[in-house]
Structure 1
Amino acid sequence: MSKSIFLLRHGQTVFNAQQRLQGHCNSDLTDLGQQQALAIGLSLKNKLANKRQWTIYSSPLGRAIQTAEIVANQIGIDPSQIVKDVRLQEFCLGDWEQTYIPDIKEKQPRLCDQRDWYLMAPNAESYYAVKDRIEDFLADISVSDNAIIISHGLTGAVFRGVYVGMTYNEVFSQDLPQNAYFLLANDKISRIQCDIEPAVTLAV
């Protein structure tokens, strides 16, 4: 049986809103980020015929766990059952972590011409290191055939690229949405847009 995977990025964080790089460091979800996670959770709830068949896997970084817990609660899966997997965490962005993106681009304006400019950070994790851990995850027979995965922008792009065999340039030509998620099944990727409804509110 081939796997069916719902792949999503964590919601907007404080650092996202501030245009700061995170990598392996962390910042909490903003109110918008919580709303994005809630909306995706509600969307997933409506798509899963049997929630008991699905396992939630998350990057161990705080923003991904925070998103995963909101999604789990909306679906009706016990958050304590979330499987944390280091293979899903974001690229380490080396010396640029916590740095403001406009400051980096002001000092190195030509970076704007490169879609993979993040990886130019001194001591950053390499594309191939992340590709290797995603390949390992996809080949892992202990991973459920029905998986909901909460990862990150860049790692999620690599994940989709590995899944369908994209080239390096194709991987970094993808967008990194926080208001959409992806179904990976039968060697195809489907994007599911998930805009926030004005009436959507977090349950207390």
Structure 2
Amino acid sequence: MILLLRHGETHWNVERRIQGRRESALTPRGERQAAAMGRLVADLIRMEPPADWRLAASPLLRAQATAQAVAARAGLRIDTDERLAEICCGDWEGKLRSEVGAGGPEWFFGAPGGETFEEVMARVESFLADLPPEPRRRMVVVSHGVTGRLLRGAYAGLPRAETLAQDVPQDAVYRLAGGQVDRFDCEPID
């Protein structure tokens, strides 16, 4: 089982600025989202038979801050894994979405100097391949919007269009288990 979540809201999310590998701190709302996800993860872990759970997070600060809130609530130690980092958006990082004509999720893969769909998919598939097999797998994963979409798509064997059409909330936890993906929404924070 994998419990997968996206980092809480950042200042650049609010500004509609492209983050990619660049850093932007969590907003106060993002901090509340991270705390709510931490509570939900702790509850979901308690509902499972006792097991050794691990927490892996992207090295980017917004994911690390979210992972810290989850780790504190669930009593876990954070392992950092570069393969969980957000897509590199090359020359577009730091720019407003409106400046680059951002559209649907496919546009992320057109950034000059950025990563391709295949490169990000290779990272998440490598991460999944290195995990213990189900049903022994017990992982909490904190990642990002694009990377999380691709991780869920790789796990579920979805085609590219369905993978990219998935929602990327900052207030929910996805459970990947038994070949299916289930969404659990956090308590409202506003």
Aligned-residue identity in percent: 38
Q: Tell me which residue corresponds to 2:4.
A: 7
> CA shift at 1:196, angstroms?
2.6
CA contact (8 A) 2:51 2:138 kept: no
2:29 aligned residue (24, 29, 32):
32
Q: Tell me which residue corresponds to 1:181.
A: 173
Q: How big is the alpha-carbon RMSD for the aligned residues of Structure 1 and Structure 2?
A: 1.7
- 1:141–1:75 CA distance, 2 compared to 1 (3 A): closer
CA distance in 2 between counterparts of 1:67 and 1:188 reads: 24
CA contact (8 A) 1:23 1:93 kept: yes
CA contact (8 A) 1:51 1:75 kept: no
SS in 2 for 1:99: coil
SS in 1 for 2:105: coil
Is residue 84 of structure 2 the alignment partner of residue 94 of structure 1?
no
Does 9-18 or 41-50 show the bigger shift?
41-50
SS in 2 for 1:182: strand
CA distance in 2 between counterparts of 1:125 and 1:194 reads: 31
**Given residue 85 of structure 1, which amino acid in structure 2 is its aligned partner?**
D
CA contact (8 A) 2:87 2:147 kept: yes
SS in 2 for 1:145: coil
Q: Tell me which residue corresponds to 2:15.
A: 18
**Given residue 97 of structure 1, which amino acid in structure 2 is its aligned partner?**
E
CA distance in 2 between counterparts of 1:181 and 1:197 reads: 15
> CA shift at 1:141, angstroms?
4.5
Q: Tell me which residue corresponds to 2:107.
A: 117
Instruction: Give TM-score, length-normalised by structure 2.
Output: 0.92
Is residue 47 of structure 2 the alignment partner of residue 42 of structure 1?
no
4+ aligned runs moved over 4 Å, structure 1: 141-144
> CA shift at 1:119, angstroms?
1.5
> CA shift at 1:197, angstroms?
4.0
> CA shift at 1:45, angstroms?
1.2
CA contact (8 A) 1:35 1:196 kept: no
Question: How many residue pairs are counted as aligned between the two chains?
Answer: 186
Q: Tell me which residue corresponds to 1:62.
A: 61
Is residue 183 of structure 2 the alignment partner of residue 191 of structure 1?
yes
CA distance in 2 between counterparts of 1:141 and 1:196 reads: 32
**Given residue 57 of structure 1, which amino acid in structure 2 is its aligned partner?**
A
Higher radius of gyration, 1 or 2:
1
CA distance in 2 between counterparts of 1:30 and 1:56 reads: 23
Instruction: Give TM-score, length-normalised by structure 1.
Output: 0.86
Q: Structure 1: which 5+ residue stretches go unaligned?
A: 106-110, 199-204
Structure 1 residues 42-83: Cα deviation after superposition (integer angstroms, max 9, x where no partner): 111112136762110000111100100011111223xxx210
SS in 2 for 1:154: helix
Q: Tell me which residue corresponds to 1:108.
A: none
Matches within 5 A, 1:78-157: 81-105=77-101, 111-112=102-103, 114-141=104-131, 145-157=137-149
